[in-house]
Amino acid sequence: MIITNGSLLNSEKLKLFGDNLDWITLPLDGSNEENQILVGRPPGHFSQVIKLLDQLKTGNYKLKINTVLCKQNFKDIENIAQLIKKYKIKRWKVFQFFPIRSASFAYKDKYEVSNHEFNQVKAKIKSLFKPDECSIHLASIKELENSYFCIDPNGIVYTTRRGKDYPLGDLKKQSGREIWENTTQFDKKAYWERTSWFIGSK
């Protein structure tokens, strides 16, 4: 799987992956150029993603879309859902806007949606799709806080809760297995529940 914003992806680069690439994940936060910009994407990004979806829909790749749900696209979600249907997306993941640090906290009031609003969208999206039409997952702030970890450019593995980073280990000094087995700052069960879909997606 490759997770990319799509800005540099093209047919020539895809050839480099050969048969080693099965899933491609792209971001789509609006149903048109204007709404995509409102969410914070640069001008032209929506057109680039749609161009890629048009190119990829006849290929052998399985397509996944990530969407960040916020105030700017709350009323646009049904239109985004129609694009998900149009391009026969295999998996759609919708994240509740989650302010982690710095800039995201500065724009918290502009983008944040309440848990009630998130649950409204969750019910709406579920009602728009048949059970086998698209695999849909909606990730709440609670899930995002407890089952995600990041690796910074220096090899430090960390998780973030309520704006604070909690180091889990250092890949320059420890193996990934050692870090995983020794950490107590991370909900491993929730992680596996969240990622288990991919194991059987080949």
Q: How many domains does the chain have?
A: 2
Amino acid in the structure at residue 21: L
For residues 50 and 124, membership in a common domain is answered with yes
Residues 148-181: tens digit of each pLDDT: 888 999 999 988 877 788 899 999 999 999 999 9
Q: Both 194 and 100 in a single domain?
A: yes
Domain around 40 = 2-145+188-199
Q: Taking the model in full, what pTM does it have? A: 0.85
Q: What is the pLDDT of residue 79?
A: 97
Higher pLDDT, 103 or 15: 15
**Domain check: are 154 and 119 in the same one?**
no
Q: Do 128 and 93 share a domain, yes or no?
A: yes
